[in-house]
Structure 1
Amino acid sequence: MTAAAALLLAGCGSGGSGDGKAADRPTAAVSAPAGDPAGTSTAAPGDAGAASGDTSGAEAPGSAADAPKVPDAQLTPPGGGSFTAQQKSYLSGRVPKGTDPAAVLEGGQEICERLTRTAKIDKDAAATAIVTGDISMSGAAAAVSALCPGQQPVITAASHGFADGTFTVAAKPVPGKAVAPGAYRAPNPSPACSWRVTGAGGTTLTSGSGARLTVPAAARGITSSGCYAWLATGGT
């Protein structure tokens, strides 16, 4: 992986970007508790979900699908005061009862800072982290939509990409499931990167190695190995 990818995976820590600024990160109205915010752990590249690129069902930070949520009117910092309108937008429907909303907010802000800092150095690395499941697609999309909309191009690039594995080919991409026809590039492939595009009946339409491939409209499936992640040509 590139140095930028390593920076992203290392996380932002409590020191921010060094000068205390991140282009799109909102300033929190409250100080969130230190430590690991609820639900912010991310999949390692070797996990099953990361290997297939299937992060579509992952919960965003602080979210619990079956737990009752704190009503919007009751979303207030534990020490008093109030959240900004932007922060309330992110927290709406995301805070299980009994959970500190500041910790949930911190999880979203951390995602934004990681994406913002990495995208400044290497936009491909930021999108690749989402494609491979190092950051969940659902968590990143929610955080970017509410807290750092300037990083929407990263989400767009990731939504059209795919990780190593086997996928069907469809008219529109479905993260973790289907790849759309078109041209793709692998920003950081290993020397063993190889791929195969199949048609009806599993026949091989084209195969090869290296960081470029084209999925024709007649394709029905695509398999890649050792390429890490593919992004649609045109980038972010």
Structure 2
Amino acid sequence: MSAHRARRAAAAVTLVLVTAALALTAGCADDDGAGHSGGQRSGATASAAPGQPPADGKDGNGEDHSRERGADDEDAPKVPRSRLTPATGSFTAKEKDYLTGRVPEGMEPAAVLEAGETACARISTTAEVSRKDAISALAAGEIDQAEPAIEHLCPQFAPLLKAAGRK
């Protein structure tokens, strides 16, 4: 057997072993440290997607999660501007402007700010390579949070947003 064929065979065996290991450990990520895996508990419903509460809002322990909301939920109560503070340090005025009306109660404002900063970084990187591609991405809505991010965090990209027909 040639060295090349031996390496390919070894790679194939490794792939099979990794796949088998992943299949065997699937579901173990839900282990709560008390010996409970993510499997069905009595009274739990199986209709919910992993990581989501069932449609009735109750988990397998009977706890009601129907009031939990995501960051994208427009109706979720938002943290008022006066309470927008990071765990350490402080937000700049433009960061607070971006965060105002965007941070759902119970969510870390820094996480929401990171989404805006990521949008600015994606626009910047794309525009450095191709202004046309950046405009196309903005026009297609491919960069999440682009409009508010440009408005508050990276206004230097406003001409791209205008060229994309978004402002």
Report TM bin, short chain: 0.5 to 0.7
What do the CA deviations read for 1:143-169 (whole angstroms, capped 9, x no partner)?
A: 001000000011001116xxxxxxxxx
| 1:75 is aligned to 2:99 | no
- Count of residues in correspondence between the two structures: 97
Answering whether residue 159 of structure 2 is matched by residue 150 of structure 1, we say: no
In structure 1, distance between residues paired with 2:97 and 2:141: 24
Which is greater in Rg?
2
Q: 1:84 aligns with which of 59, 83, 92?
A: 92
CA shift for structure 1 position 63: 4.5
- Is 2:75 the counterpart of 1:66? yes
Normalising by structure 1, we get a TM-score of: 0.39
What is aligned with 2:38?
A: none
The answer to whether residue 162 in structure 2 is matched with residue 128 in structure 1 is no
The corresponding residue for 2:61 is none
Structure 2 stretches of 5 or more lacking a match? 1-70
Q: TM-score, normalised on structure 2?
A: 0.54
C-alpha distance in 2, partners of 1:111/1:151?
Answer: 11
Displacement of 1:96 in angstroms is 0.3
Q: Deviations over 1:107-135 (max 9, x none)?
A: 00000011012112211101111222322
Where is the helix percentage greater, Structure 1 or Structure 2? Answer: 2
Give, in whole Å, the separation in 2 of the partners of 1:91 and 1:63: 13
Q: Percent identity?
A: 46
Whichever structure has more strand as a proportion of its residues is: 1
Kept in 1, the 8 Å contact 2:126–2:133? The answer is: yes
SS of the equivalent of 2:158 reads helix
Per-residue CA distance 1:177-219 (angstroms, 9 max, x = gap):
xxxxxxxxxxxxxxxxxxxxxxxxxxxxxxxxxxxxxxxxxxx
| CA-based RMSD | 1.7
Which gives a bigger RCO, structure 1 or 2 (Cα 8 Å, sep 6+)? Answer: 1
1:100 maps to which residue?
Answer: 108
CA contact (8 A) 1:64 1:94 kept: no
Q: What are structure 1's unaligned runs of at least 5 residues? A: 1-61, 161-174, 176-236
